Amino acid sequence: MIQSLAISDVKLITPKRFGDARGFFSETWNSKLLRDEGIDLEFVQDNHSYSAARGVLRGLHFQNLPHAQDKLVRCTRGRVYDVAVDIRRGSPTFGQYVGAELSAENWAQILVPKGFAHGFVTLEDHCELQYKVTDYYAPECDMSIRWNDPAIGIDWMIDPSVVTLSEKDASAPLLSEVECGFVYKSAHAGSGQG
């Protein structure tokens, strides 16, 4: 099942899961099926993130041009609140965010396209995220935006006093201070993703 979130370029994808007394089986990515739904991406790298405690917040992260990444994120252990922020200049939803709970139980995935910053916070201990990306890690293009930027106003669904951050994320700049190359293209002009 594929549904658009409030910012329609961000998709929530819930693969079918077939279970019995032994456990379950699921196709978590099928390029042909998703291409038939208009999602035509070539993933080149898989990443796996583990967070030991509730309240670990990672983000808001993105790779700038020319190494921008689409991300397909899923939670395979525990429960997180996952967020995408529109950072495409000229977009009608610039600086706005959408979020969804991802968990091992609900089996949902979030597709975060190029031109969006991504972050998540763990809602319980021992969370693992796995995500696919469409370009390789490029440290020179690795950028961050402050997780609690008041202009974005993200409700992280958790008490901010319990949040644990990396030093890099704690000192990230505000969106207004970030120079990135993403420009919104309307559906009439192209993909709208970069």
Report pLDDT digits (tens) over 104-153: 999 999 999 999 999 999 999 999 999 999 999 999 999 999 999 999 99
Q: What is the per-residue burial (b if ≥16 Cβ within 10 Å, else e) of 63-94?
A: bbeebbbbbbbbbeebbbbbbbbbbbeebebe
User: d(Cα 128, Cα 131) in Å, to the nearest integer?
Assistant: 10
User: d(Cα 22, Cα 186) in Å, to the nearest integer?
Assistant: 48
CA distances from 75 to 80, 105, 124, 177 (A): 7, 9, 12, 31
Q: Is the pLDDT of residue 164 over 70?
A: yes
Q: Is the pLDDT of residue 191 over 50?
A: no
Quickly list DSSP for 78-98: SEEEEEEEE--BT-TTTT-EE
* Across 85-92, average pLDDT: 97
Cβ atoms within 10 Å, residue 186 = 11
Task: Show me where the domains of the chain are located.
Answer: 2-177
What pLDDT, in 10s, does the model give residues 19-41? 999 999 989 888 998 899 899 99
pLDDT of residue 187: 64
Which residues does the annotation mark as catalytic? 61, 131
For 175, phi then psi, to 5°, come to -55, -40
Question: Domain spanning 2-177: which superfamily?
Answer: Jelly Rolls (2.60.120.10)
pLDDT of residue 192: 45
User: How would residue 185 be classed by pLDDT, with cut points 50, 70 and 90?
Assistant: confident
User: d(Cα 12, Cα 2) in Å, to the nearest integer?
Assistant: 6
User: d(Cα 79, Cα 101) in Å, to the nearest integer?
Assistant: 7
Residue 113 · residue 43 · CB < 8 Å:
no
Q: What is the per-residue burial (b if ≥16 Cβ within 10 Å, else e) of 1-35?
A: eeeebebebbbbbebeeeeeeeeeeeeeeeeeebe
pLDDT of residue 110: 98
pLDDT of residue 186: 77
* Across 88-97, average pLDDT: 97
Say how many Å lie between the first and final Cα of the chain, rounded: 25
Tokens of 25: 């089986």
